[in-house]
Amino acid sequence: MVILITGITSGFGKAMAERLAADGHKVYGTHRKAVEQIPGVSYIKADSTVEEDVEATVKAVLDAEGRIDVFINNAGMGIGGPLEFTSMEDAQRQMDVNFTGMVRFVRRIVPVMRAQGGGKIICFSSIGGLMGLPFQGMYSASKFAIEGYCEALRLEVRSFGIDVVLIEPGDFATAFTAQRKSVAAPEAYEVYKTYAKSLESIENDEQTGLKPEYLAGIISKIVRMKRPGYHYIISTLEQRLSVFLKAILPQRWFAAILSSYYKL
C-alpha cells in the first residue's frame, strides 16, 4: 500500500514510518527540518500550515505512485499553561498546526480516495480530545475539533469506501514533552499556584509513558484491517478507565477526580 504520514521526524511519526516501511508498504512522510532518514521511506519537506506545501506533497505522491491508500495525519504540537495567559498568537498556532493542518490535507486526499474507490484516513486525536485537561486547554480544544470533524467526515465518505479512524493516545515517552511550549510568565505561576505541580505531574506521566513503537504496532494492524474500528484508545489501563468514568459519572464527580489527579 501507498501510505502518506505527516510529521515523521520523531515520536509517533518516526515509529510508524519505520514499522510500516518494514511491513513492506511504500511510505511517504513529511518533515520540516533536516533529519537522518529512515531507509525505504521517502521524505517530503512540507509544513501542514502552508497550503502550497500541502498541495505539493499530495501531488508528489500521486506523481510517483498514482494513488494514496492510507493517509495518517500525525503532525502536531502542544501549548500548555493557564488559558488566561495563553496568547492569541499561541492559540491560533495550536489550532492551525493540529486541526487546520489536518483539514488542508484531508480536503486534497478525499477526492483522490473517492476517485480510486476507497482508502483509509487515520487521524491522531488524544485522550485530551475526549476530556478537557487542565493547563492543556488549547491542546484539548484542538483535539476536540479533530474528534468532531472526523465524526462528520466518516458519515460523509463511507459510501465511497473510505474509512475514517481516530487514534486517541494517552501518555507516551516521546519528544513531545520537551517540545511543548508552556506559558512561562511569572504571573501565571503566582495566580495559578497549582500550575507548577500540575505541569510537573503532566511531564512525569509523559516521560514514563508507553513507547511509540507500541503504538506503531497497533497502527500496523489497523492499516491491514478490512473494516477498522471508528476509534482506538491507545494508553495504559488507568487512562482507558478514566475515559470510561467520564462517560458514566456525573460531571461534577469526574471533575473532582481530575482536580485531584492534577493537584488543583
Residues labelled catalytic: 139
Lookup: cell for 242: 478514566
Beta bridge partners of 163: 120
Helix/strand/coil for 230: coil
- DSSP readout, 196-223? HHHHHHHHHHHHTSB-HHHHHHHHHHHH
Its sign, for the CA torsion 221, 223, 228, 234, is: positive
3-state helix/strand/coil string of 23-86: CCCEEEEEECCCCCCCCCEEEEECCCCCHHHHHHHHHHHHHHHCCCCEEEECCCCCEECCHHHC
Task: Specify the DSSP element, H or E, that contains 257.
Answer: helix 251-261
